[in-house]
Amino acid sequence: MLVAVACVALALLAAPASAQRFGAESFTLGNGMQVVVVPNHRVPAVVQMVWYKIGAADDPLGKSGIAHFLEHLMFKGTAANPPGAFTSSIARNGGRDNAFTTQDYTAYHETIARDRLDLVMRLEADRMTGLVLDDKVVLPERDVVLEERRMRIDNEPASLLAEQLRATLFLHHPYRNPTIGWVNEIRLLGTEDALASYRKWYAPNNAILVIAGDVDSAEVGPLAERYFGPIPPQSLPARVRVEEPPHYAAARLEMKSARAAQPQWNRSYLAPSYRAGEAAQAYPLQVLAEILGGGAGSRLYMTLVLDRGLALSAGAHYSPSTIDLAIFGLNATPKPGVSVADLEAAIDGELRRLVRDGVDPDELRRAKERMQAASVYARDSLSGPPNIIGAALSIGQRLDEVEAWPDRIGAVTAPEVDNAARSILVERNSATGVLLPEPTS
């Protein structure tokens, strides 16, 4: 066992992962648009991502879902590229394109052969200001979003409960609203709502261009200047988000559904992010999530699934990549015959043990090594690095922070993890959701 451990340590030392994880380069155009280039010469291809600093948490009151709806509508064409031309000209050149929306940002991306980079840059630059919308294309797309909502959420009891749980965890902050929007509000979204949001937020000085692949900044620079450079910046409104007030009572939701296959247990705690709360805890909390519920070697899996046979699955998750407060989450599925109450009591026992005794140095070291290895694996992909970098910059992190992630994880100490655990695993800052199957009559 000792020999093996020494091997792992050597492997990680040998991995060129430290100061420059991705070797990304960054510069800013005259109009304020940030450009990041992530060289990756394994495949003669590029990924372009344009990230707008506007997300669902910026949706105006009563217009939940408008950021996501606008993302759909961005494929509806411009004067220069009529409906359908965007995607078909990318497909004709062997490329793929898509987009996604989160609470904090909206991102558009294309993957294409390296020698077609100028095509996708021209297309993205064109739709940054040239979008043309009318009811004829907007209204059917609203139905598409409603079908998307039915598929992802309304047809899935666990997703419905997760949505309600989020709205319970955040008492006031807009993270309480689903990114796709509440169904009653999606139904009322219209062309003018989308255009208003578009005019307000889609501007080069509110966007980040990330290009990854078989290119370098000497090549990307002039192209970015040529296509995005001429777009004038505009004055941006402040992103006003209400602050989450202190919590005084834990929340608990129980949902019974005939469509649920088996009981499920979830708990979310309010937690700091890279940008909010005790931001220094963001790194120790990532290590904590790995130790507590990162995989088959984690405390929750080992104890609840393997040792005590109480659960079919158990895990923890935490992502600090949000502008405002993050969620530290736990989940478990009880083994048939085990009550949710017994499962929950066992999880609470594990949490108490953690808060009381802290983590042990060996499990801390092993968790950090796994995470650093994952960081090497992250480079074995064309789209992984630009996703990681774009998300970080979109929430206001600096590129050097992203590059230093493995070192920052490596520097986390046991007392830091223990302190972070003690400060976030607080009952009044939690919301617990229980999904129970209901026999059909």
Active site positions, annotated: 71
The stretch among 63-71, 191-199, 231-239, 377-385 that binds other proteins (CB under 8 A) is 377-385
Residues 89-118 that bind other proteins (CB under 8 A): 91-97, 111-113
Q: Which is nearer to other proteins, 43 or 279 (CB)?
A: 43
Q: How many residues bind to other proteins according to rule CB under 8 A?
A: 72
Number of helices (H), then strands (E), belonging to the chain: the values are 17, 11
Neighbours of 88 (CB within 10 A): 11
Q: How far is the CB of 441 from other proteins (least distance, A)?
A: 11
The residue within the footprint of other proteins, chosen from 30, 84, 222, 349 (CB under 8 A), is 84
- Looking up tokens 């689903």, which residue turns up? 178
Q: Which is nearer to other proteins, 94 or 415 (CB)?
A: 94
Q: Is 343 in the site for other proteins (CB under 8 A)?
A: no
Q: Which helix (H) or strand (E) holds 269?
A: strand 264-271
Q: Is 336 in the site for other proteins (CB under 8 A)?
A: yes
Q: Which is nearer to other proteins, 25 or 156 (CB)?
A: 156
Q: How far is the CB of 255 from other proteins (least distance, A)?
A: 14
* Separation of alpha carbons 289 and 304, rounded Å: 16
Alpha helices in 16-84 (DSSP H): 66-73
The residue within the footprint of other proteins, chosen from 259, 353, 422, 428 (CB under 8 A), is 259
Q: Is 143 in the site for other proteins (CB under 8 A)?
A: yes
- DSSP three-state, residue 51: strand
Q: Which is nearer to other proteins, 144 or 188 (CB)?
A: 144
* Separation of alpha carbons 8 and 12, rounded Å: 6
For residue 80, the 8-state DSSP code is S
* Separation of alpha carbons 213 and 234, rounded Å: 30
Q: Token pair of 293, please? A: 């519920």
Q: Which is nearer to other proteins, 93 or 419 (CB)?
A: 93
Alpha helices in 240-338 (DSSP H): 282-293, 299-300
Q: Is 306 in the site for other proteins (CB under 8 A)?
A: yes
Q: Is 82 in the site for other proteins (CB under 8 A)?
A: no
